[in-house]
Structure 1
Amino acid sequence: MKLLDSTAKGVYLITVTPFTDTGALDLPSTDRMVDFCLDKGVTGLTILGIMGEASKLSAEESLQYTQRVLARVDGRVPVIVGVSSPGFASMGELTRSVMDAGASGVMVAPPSTVRTDDQIAAYFDMVNETLGPQVPWCLQDHPVSTGVQMSTGVILRILKNSPICVMLKHEDWPGLAKLSAIRAASDKGELRRVSILTGNGGGLFLPEELTRGADGAMTGFAWPEMMVDVVAAHARGDVERAHDLFDAYLPLARYEQQAGIGLAVRKHLLQQRGVIASAFVRKPGPKLSPQDLADLDRLVRRQDARLRALG
């Protein structure tokens, strides 16, 4: 597996973790999900993220799932593994295991216990020490889930102090100004250029983020082809086409981003598409109401009609 580097671009899809109806890991669905993602043209995969229910997996399950994904991918695309943890022993152990299994790099978000810029910077100094000089990593900035506000200044400080941090997963909201400032710093030569992939609101600002200098997307959606096609259209200079495609998917993408039920929505839609066998979400997790299901049926029908009209 090729190691992650700062030239990464395209769509690194954040995957769900498939379970059976009884809550066990569903490895056959995992294989099917990997095949589905690759068939839709994703550039890479990111697993064991927040929407992958990483915090609900045991250490043994995390490694078993990672090994299954890597075996199915078989080196065709890079795979990034989330290893965020308040404790560095568990972070280091999981990192060594997944890198030995063939991962391309790891992703780390700050724990909720760090608050000031100095605390945040010191934490990531320890991340560098824990991962070592050979493991490329992605800095995840997702204050909605972590509760940690990383200013533009502290992100620049982390990147300057972390030569093996090759990617920023930009998920602050609102975050367009931050994205512009970080990209401007590298354009001016104040910072080495790193890959910036966006996951803001599940891609709800993707066209604008691409215009601001993002290299692609790292987020999840039950229609990964949306992100693939939008990023490709934007890259070839057809910005209006990128916006038209994005607009067609936006109502369903917005519905999927509801706090509380978003993961259940995504898993339901993936089950409907035949990707996973069960929409089971481990506790604590939401269940969809009959009204939710009716909303989704309507939105899918309208999306299909809009896409047919766009050709």
Structure 2
Amino acid sequence: MPLITANTKGVFVIAVTPFRDDGAIDHASVDSMVDFYFDKGADGLTILGIMGEAPKLTQSEAIEVTRRTLARAGGRPVVVGVSAPGLAAIGELTKAVMDLGAAGVMVAPPSSLRTDDQIAGYYRTVVETIGTEVPLVLQDYPLTTGVQIAPKTLGAIFEAHPSIVMLKHEDWPGLQKISDLRDAEARGRRRVSILCGNGGLFLVEELRRGADGAMTGFAYPEMMVGVCRLSAEGAHDAAQDLFDAYLPLMRYEQQPGAGLAVRKYVLARRGAIASVAQRRPAVPLNAAAIAEVEFLIARQQRKLEALG
């Protein structure tokens, strides 16, 4: 299984975790979901993230989902989220998934961190815990974690720990942060891969600022694949047109609390997973919300047909 590096590019889809209606993991849907994402052009997957309902899984379930995903991925890279309140759990899960063949692991900072020294110290202990041979993704998602990491602090962390090869950039607004990080690299700081989240809402601008791709979970991954390809070709108007066709549904999917239900509904509708079920506590879609999603999907299809 290939490892991620500081030069990794493309679309790593944040995968949902499929459940049956009774709350058990749906192993058959793990297979169909992996097939779906790669059939739509994904370069890799990221599992057990926030939208993968990782906190609702036991450690043994997390390992089993990883094993099943890696087996189905057929040698393509899979990053595993291993964030946890304690370093012991991070270390244990990291060893298990890397032994299974993961391409790297992702860790978000705990919400208790407040100062630059605390943030830098935390990632120093993470690297010490998991080992310098493990490729690490630093997840910068202040809207969820509450931890603000300035570009200067990120740069210091990157310089101190070469095994941190990727930033999952989810600051909002955060476009200037991408520019600042790339400017620092132009002045001599080592390069890191930057893949962006936030449901892809700012993907066009992020790519033009220097991002290497997307690491997020919109239910139409082919949009992100197409936008990344067109942007790399310099076809920025075409990339924007493609992005615009999907934007209303992307916006709808970004609702706090309801977003995962929307994503799972669309993925089930597209045949990627068998059930829309989430593990409790969960916020299901009601009939009015489903009607709104169907309306947006229909409009999206008409826009795509107009694009040809």
Normalising by structure 2, we get a TM-score of: 0.99
CA distance in 1, matches of 2:132, 2:292: 49
Q: Deviations over 1:29-72 (max 9, x none)?
A: 00000000110110110000000000000001000000000000
Query: Secondary structure of the residue that 1:127 maps to in structure 2?
Result: helix
CA distance in 2, matches of 1:143, 1:280: 27
CA distance in 2, matches of 1:56, 1:147: 21
What letter matches 1:154 in structure 2?
T
CA distance in 2, matches of 1:52, 1:187: 35
Map 1:140-159; keep pairs closer than 5 Å: 140-159=139-158
Aligned to 1:226: 223
Aligned to 2:274: 277
Query: Secondary structure of the residue that 2:165 maps to in structure 1?
Result: strand
Map 1:39-118; keep pairs closer than 5 Å: 39-75=39-75, 77-118=76-117
Aligned to 2:119: 120
What letter matches 2:125 in structure 1?
M
What letter matches 1:86 in structure 2?
P
**Count of residues in correspondence between the two structures:** 308
Tell whether 2:1 aligns with 1:34: no
CA distance in 2, matches of 1:282, 1:158: 35
Tell whether 2:296 aligns with 1:307: no
Tell whether 2:264 aligns with 1:267: yes
Map 1:234-253; keep pairs closer than 5 Å: 234-253=231-250
What letter matches 1:51 in structure 2?
M
CA distance in 1, matches of 2:61, 2:38: 23
Query: Secondary structure of the residue that 1:111 maps to in structure 2?
Result: coil
Aligned to 2:129: 130
- How many angstroms does 1:171 deviate by? 0.2
2:289 corresponds, among 292, 306, 310, to: 292
Aligned to 1:197: 195
Map 1:157-196; keep pairs closer than 5 Å: 157-189=156-188, 191-196=189-194
CA distance in 1, matches of 2:184, 2:211: 13
Q: Deviations over 1:201-228 (max 9, x none)?
A: 2110000000000000000011000000
What letter matches 1:193 in structure 2?
R
CA distance in 1, matches of 2:228, 2:3: 22
Structure 2 unaligned residues grouped into runs of 5+: none
- How many angstroms does 1:86 deviate by? 2.2
CA distance in 1, matches of 2:3, 2:290: 41
Deviating runs (4+, > 2 A) in structure 1? none
Query: Secondary structure of the residue that 1:186 maps to in structure 2?
Result: helix
- How many angstroms does 1:2 deviate by? 1.1
Cα RMSD between the aligned structures? 0.7
Normalising by structure 1, we get a TM-score of: 0.98
CA distance in 1, matches of 2:178, 2:234: 20
- How many angstroms does 1:7 deviate by? 0.9
Query: Secondary structure of the residue that 2:134 maps to in structure 1?
Result: coil
- How many angstroms does 1:144 deviate by? 1.1
Share of identical aligned residues, percent? 59
- How many angstroms does 1:154 deviate by? 1.3
- How many angstroms does 1:27 deviate by? 0.4
- How many angstroms does 1:105 deviate by? 0.4
